[in-house]
Structures are given as C-alpha cells and as structure tokens.
Amino acid sequence: MRVSSLFRRVPSVLMAWRNLGRSRVRTALATLGIVIGVVAIASLGMAGAALQQQATADLEGIANEVQITVGEDNDAGGIEPEDVDDIRSLSTGAEVVPEQSNHTTLASRDGQEMPVSVTGVTEANVLYDGADGELPDRLRSGALLTDETADQLGLEPGDPIEFDGQLYRLEGLIETEQGFRFVNNELVLPPEALSSQTAYDTVTVVADDGDEAQQIASAINERFNEPDDEQLRVESFADTQDELDSFMTTLNLALLGIGSISLIVASVAILNVMLMSTIERRGEIGVLRAVGIRRGEVLRTILIEALLIGVLGGLLGALCSLAVGLLIFRLLVGDAMAVFGWASLQYLVYGFAFAVVASVLSGLYPAWKAANDRPVDALRG
C-alpha cells in the first residue's frame, strides 16, 4: 500500500479513500443507492426525450403544411375555385393543392367489398408518399391506392379500377400512414373523376417551413374569416408542434420529478451510512482531533467521503443509464444510436450532477457533527 505522491498532496482525499475502502460492502451499498437514483432520473428523462423525438418525427413533413377546409359559417358547402385562386395569391412561394373527396366501395375479383375515400387531386406526389418508388408528378388518367387496401383486395399496379362508371388504371401504391397525417383506405384519382362537384373539400398549402406556413395561415384567415364568421377552417400544424412541445416539456418535468424522488431516497441512505460510519469511528476521530487535526480538516475528509460515493455512484449510474437509454431509443424511436444527442445525453449530466450534489448535502450533517465533537468526549466513547 504505497501512497501516491498525488494523494499525499491532498490528505483529506487520501484519508477519505482509505476510509471508504475499510467497509467495502457499506460503500458498495451506498453507491448502489446512488446508481439506482441516477438511473431513475436519467432513464426517465431519456424516455421523455425519445417520446418527443418520435412525436416530432411524426409531425415532420407536415409542420410546414396548412390545411384549409370548409368553415362552419360557409353556406356554399365547399371551397369554390375562386377561393382557391385567392388562396394561391396569398401563398406566394408555396405549393397549393386543392382536393375533392368522395366515398365509394371497391370490390375484389372474388367479390370482397371495401369502403374507401376518394380524393381528386392532380399533385398527388405532394400529399402522398409512394409505398415503393416515386409517384407520378401529375395524375392524368391513372389511379393511386393505399398499399394495404390494394393488398387486401388483391390489386396490383396495372389492374383496372372502376369509379362512377369509368375505368382507371392503377398507376401506383401509396403508403398507409398512422399518426397526425392519417392515410388509410384511400383511392386517389385525377380531379376530373369528381367533376360532378365543382367545389373543393380541402386545400393543402405546403410552405417551405413552419414559420412560413403560419404566416400563410394567418393571411388566409384574415382574408376569409371574421371573428364570428368562419368561412374557411384554417389549420396549421406548426401550432400542433408548439402544443406538442409544451406538453412534452410538462411530461418531462413530471418524469424527472418521479426520478428525483428515488435520488432523494438514495441520499437519505447516504446520510444514514455516513452517520453510522462517523458514529462508529467516533473514538478515531477523537484521536485525530487530540493530536491536532483541525475541525475543518476532519469536516473536509468526511465530506470528501460522501463526495467520492456520489462521484462513483454518479459515474456508474450514468454508464448504466446510457445502456438503458440505448434500449429505450431502440424501442421507442427504432434507432438505438439516436440516444447520442444532447437532447437525451443531457439527462446523464443532470443525473450525475444531482448525485454529486445530493451526496455532498447528505454528508454535511454527519461531517459537521463529527468535526464538532469535543475530543475528550469522543475519546471517552
């Protein structure tokens, strides 16, 4: 047991280290308590971060969209072509996609029937993602169908589909989507297919980003709506993003709160361990004080013991939390490596910092008590 020269320069650290080494089981248990606390804080925090990341990914691609539907005070029952022109003029630099919709029932060769919603739109590639490969730029005479629907009906690209007495060739499959952008059992046709309707049901404006989308949304609102007269319902997903963000912040705080309870429990455990160990060593500390070791030096030594437990537990806890984080991101986001970002790694730092602070705080009272014990009383036992 050779003392390293570095240790000799910081006697309190040397003494604290040796003291912790004396009762390894106790030190290990106190450290374990801290590890559990840190893992609780950090993994709950990271779970929140993973949820937020997933939700943001769901919203991504539509946060820059404005969706315009018929307002509740609109008697026309649809968005007139002139209105669409107005919307176009208000949405400079953005793509404006008017659609019409209807319902129909598709039948498979073996007679199985399936209700689908029909959308009439030219710029289908702006609104939908291809299930495998690119969609045609403009829809002229063909049809698109959600992949799951096609699968259930046994339809393949090239097959004919009938709507309103006319046949369309299935040109491609579009991805079925869940979440904010809901695409399910949908048949997409050129607008002419729904030409019996002159008005549109939905106009989607795709801007460059969320801010621009919001500007366009408020411009359209101002042009068409009065406070008590809603002609067009204008929805921008940038609002949804903001609401989601604030909800996530609340959720994260709640999760962290639950996590910190376990760290508080852990620091009570440290308080107990430090108190027990200083009471056990009372005579020894009395000898230190008798031979001239100052109160501050005794205090520092015991605080450093607590600090070492905190640092050790904090580091181990951060390491375990990283493993848990990899698992969480693998399950929630589908990509374990996504954990390596400040949004989630910050919780490792918080957990570690919390561990160190909590340990030192719970070491304060035992350290103060031991340092201020009169040596005569301590030596008498």
Q: Any bridge partners for residue 174, and if so which? A: 130, 146
Q: How far apart are CA 133 and CA 225, in angstroms?
A: 40
Beta strands in 82-122 (DSSP E): 95-107, 113-120
Q: How far apart are CA 339 and CA 350, in angstroms?
A: 15
Query: Taking the complex as a whole, how short is the minimal distance between the CB of residue 13 and other proteins, in angstroms?
Result: 12
Query: Taking the complex as a whole, how short is the minimal distance between the CB of residue 310 and other proteins, in angstroms?
Result: 21
In this structure, are residues 187 and 141 in contact, taking their beta carbons and an 8 Å threshold? no
Number of residues in contact with other proteins under rule CB under 8 A:
29
Q: Does 21 bind other proteins (CB under 8 A)?
A: yes
What residues contact 77, with CB distance under 8 A and at least 6 apart? 70, 199
Query: Taking the complex as a whole, how short is the minimal distance between the CB of residue 242 and other proteins, in angstroms?
Result: 57
Q: Which of 284, 336, 346, 364 binds other proteins (CB under 8 A)?
A: 284
Q: Which of 283, 334, 335, 340 binds other proteins (CB under 8 A)?
A: 283
Q: Are strands 160-163 and 202-206 parallel, antiparallel or unpaired?
A: unpaired
Q: How many helices (H) and strands (E) does the chain have?
A: 12, 9
Q: Does 11 bind other proteins (CB under 8 A)?
A: yes
Q: Which amino acid is at 61?
A: G
Of residues 140 and 294, the one with the C-beta less far from other proteins: 294
Which of 140, 119, 355, 147 is CA-nearest to residue 260? 355
Site string for other proteins, 345-374 (x = CB under 8 A): -----------------------------x
Q: Does 22 bind other proteins (CB under 8 A)?
A: yes
Query: Taking the complex as a whole, how short is the minimal distance between the CB of residue 369 and other proteins, in angstroms?
Result: 15
To which residue do tokens 């001239």 refer?
292
Of residues 21 and 341, the one with the C-beta less far from other proteins: 21
Q: How far apart are CA 306 and CA 147, in angstroms?
A: 61
Of residues 253 and 279, the one with the C-beta less far from other proteins: 279
Q: Which of 295, 326, 357, 368 binds other proteins (CB under 8 A)?
A: 295
- Site of interaction with other proteins (CB under 8 A): 1-3, 8-9, 11-12, 14-15, 18-19, 21-22, 283-284, 287-295, 297, 374-376, 379
